[in-house]
Amino acid sequence: MDRIRIVGGNKLNGTIQISGAKNAALPLMIAGLLTEETLILDNVPRLADVAQLQRILGNHGVDITSVGKRPGDRAYQGQTLHISAANIIDTTAPYELVSRMRASFWVIAPLVARMREAKVSLPGGCAIGTRPVDLLMMALKKLGADISIDGGYVIASAPGGLRGATIDFPKVTVSGTHVALMAATLAKGTTVITNAACEPEIADVAACLNKMGAHVTGAGTPRIVVEGVEKLHGARHTVLPDRIEAGTYAMAVAMTGGEVQLAGARPELLQSALDVLVQAGAEISADTGGIRVARNGAGIHPVTVVTAPFPGFPTDLQAQLMALMVCAQGASEITETIFENRFMHVQELARFGARISLNGETARIEGIGQLRGAPVMATDLRASVSLVIAGLAAEGETMVNRVYHLDRGFERLEEKLKACGASIERISD
Ligand code: UD1
C-alpha cells in the first residue's frame, strides 16, 4: 500500500488550483440515472471515489466516457464525463461495490423514481460513527415507496410511481436531502422538504436538476420545493469548487507560513472556516480569481470551534483545524456535533507530540508550537489529510502510512503541495 513521505518545515508559497467538489460530483453523477439522455459534467475531480462510482453506475448499464484534455485547458482542470443512462439493465447495487463508498447508496433514489424499483446494499464508507440510512428510507417511504430490508439490502419499490409529499427531516442530513430531492423530481405532484441541508453541494445538484428539466426552488435553504415532472432530459453542468479542499490548503498555509493563492476557490462556500482562520492569525483576502491565504511571522492563536451544518464550521475540516491548533500558542477547544467517533486522528496527532484530551464530543488541545515528524497511520479521509498537513509543519520526517483514503478525496495532493515548495513524495511498495 502507498505511503507518503514528508520532510516538514518548508513554507508554502505559490498557487494551488482547487478541484471540483467530490461531494457534489458524486450526487451529480448519480443524478445521471434520472434521464435516458446524456448528462455532461465538467470539472469532475479525478478521485478514487469517482472511479468507484463509475463502476457502480456501469453495473446498472450506464455508459460513461471521460473526455480528454482540449487546447487551452489549464492544468488540474478536472475531467469531463458524459453519462448516459439510456438503458438501465440492472436495478441492483451489490454489496461488493456499495460497501466501499457510502454515497453510492444514494443510487436508490433515481432508480426507484425512474425504474420504480431498486435493491441497494447497505453502505460502507469512512469509519466515522454509525452513519445510518433511516432518514433516507423515511424520505422514500413518504414519497410512496415500499421499503424493506433483506439480507443486508434495502429493497424499494413503487409500482405506480412516486407521489409528492411533505418530508420533514428531524435532523439535518446531507444524504437524506440529496435522496429526497432526486426522488422528488420524478414524483407526481409537489414535494416540500423541510429542515433540508443547506450545503452548497445540494444547491449545485438542484441547479443541475433544473437544467435537466426539473422544477426545484429553495435549494440552499432549509425549505426546498419540488414540482415533479414526467421526464428529465440531458444537460451540461460544471461541478462547483471543493470548499473542503480549499479549506484544507488554507489550514496548511496557516500552519507552515507563506502565501498561497487558492485559485478558483469561492469564499462564500467556506466563510465560517475563513473566519476561524482569521481568528487564528492567518491573513485572508479574496477576489474573483480565488482566495489568498498568508501567514508571515505572526503566531497561531487558539480558537473555540463547534462543527455544525452549513453555514457553520464543517465537520470535514475538523481534523485539519485540530492539526492547526496543535501549533497554536495556548489551549483551544473543538466540539464535534455531526458525527460521533470522528476523533480518530487524535491518537495519530499525538505521535507528532500533540497534547489533546477528549471529553465526550469536545477535544481540548494544548498548543505545543512545534510538531516533530513521526510515522503515522491514515484512518478516514479527512483525518488522513490532517496528518499530511501536520507533517508539512513538523520538524523532520513524517511517513503517512495507508494513504488509500487520501486518494478518495484529494486530487493530486502531492503534486499541488510540491509545486508550493513542500518536500513530499509518494512511495509505492
Ligand atoms: C455528507 C458528506 C460528508 C460530510 C457530511 C456532513 C458527501 C458524499 N458526504 O455525508 O463529507 O461529512 O455530509 O456534512 O456529501 N444520519 C442519520 N440517519 C440518516 C442519515 C444521516 O442519523 O439516515 C446522521 C448521520 O449519522 C450524521 C448526521 O446525520 O450523524 C449527518 O449525516 P449526513 O449529513 O447525512 O452526512 P452524509 O451525507 O453521510
Find the CATH number of the domain harbouring 174: 3.65.10.10
Last residue of a domain, one of 238, 258, 281: 238
Q: Ligand 1, residues 338, 384, 385: which to mutate, most atoms within 8 A of Cβ? A: 338
Helix (H, G, I), strand (E, B) or coil at 250: helix
Q: Is this prediction's pTM over 0.85?
A: yes
pLDDT tier for residue 378 given thresholds of 50, 70 and 90: confident
What values do phi and psi take at 91, rounded to 5? -100, 15
> 318 CB under 6 A from ligand 1?
no
Of 290, 205, 269, whose CA–CA distance to 28 is shortest?
205
Ligand 1 pocket member 24 (CB < 6 A): no
State the closest ligand 1 atom to the C-alpha of 316, by its place in the atom list counted from 1: 12
Residues 408 and 273 in one domain: yes
Residues 292, 345 within the same domain: yes
Structure confidence at residue 14 as a pLDDT band (50, 70, 90): very high
Give yes or no: residues 232 and 286 share one domain: no
Q: Using an 8 Å Cβ cutoff, are 25 and 80 in contact?
A: no
Catalytic residues: 126
Residue 62 is which amino acid?
V
Structurally, how many domains does the chain consist of?
A: 2
Angstrom distance (rounded) from CA 41 to CA 172: 27
175 Cα: distance to centroid of ligand 1 (angstroms): 6
Verify whether ligand 1 is closer than 6 Å to residue 256 (CB atom).
no
Write down the pLDDT at residue 152.
Answer: 86
Question: Are 200 and 246 in the same domain?
Answer: no
- Both 165 and 41 in one domain: the answer is yes
Mark which of 189, 216, 238 sits at the end of a domain. Answer: 238
Cα–Cα–Cα angle for 301, 21, 67, rounded to 5 degrees:
145
**Structural domain of residue 74, as residue ranges?**
22-238
Cell numbers for 35: 434521464
Using an 8 Å Cβ cutoff, are 369 and 10 in contact?
Answer: no
**pLDDT band at 124, cuts 50/70/90?**
low
Do 421 and 405 reside in the same domain of the chain?
yes
Residues 6+ apart with CB under 8 A from 141: 147
pLDDT in tens, 330-357: 999 999 999 887 898 999 999 999 999 9
Across the range 77-83, mean pLDDT stands at 90
- Indicate whether 255 and 355 sit together in one domain: yes
Together in a domain, 249 and 233: no
Q: Which of 200, 217, 238 is the last residue of a domain?
A: 238
Query: What confidence category does residue 404 fall into, taking pLDDT thresholds of 50, 70 and 90?
Result: confident
Decide: 105 in ligand 1 pocket, CB within 6 A.
Answer: no
Answer yes or no: do 162 and 141 share one domain: yes
397 CA to centre of ligand 1 in angstroms: 35
**pLDDT averaged over the chain?**
94
pLDDT at 131: 60
Same domain, 134 and 251: no
Q: Do both 142 and 224 map to the same domain?
A: yes
Contacts of 123 (CB under 8 A, 6+ apart): 98, 99, 101, 102, 103, 104, 105, 131, 133
The answer on 251 and 198 residing in a single domain is: no
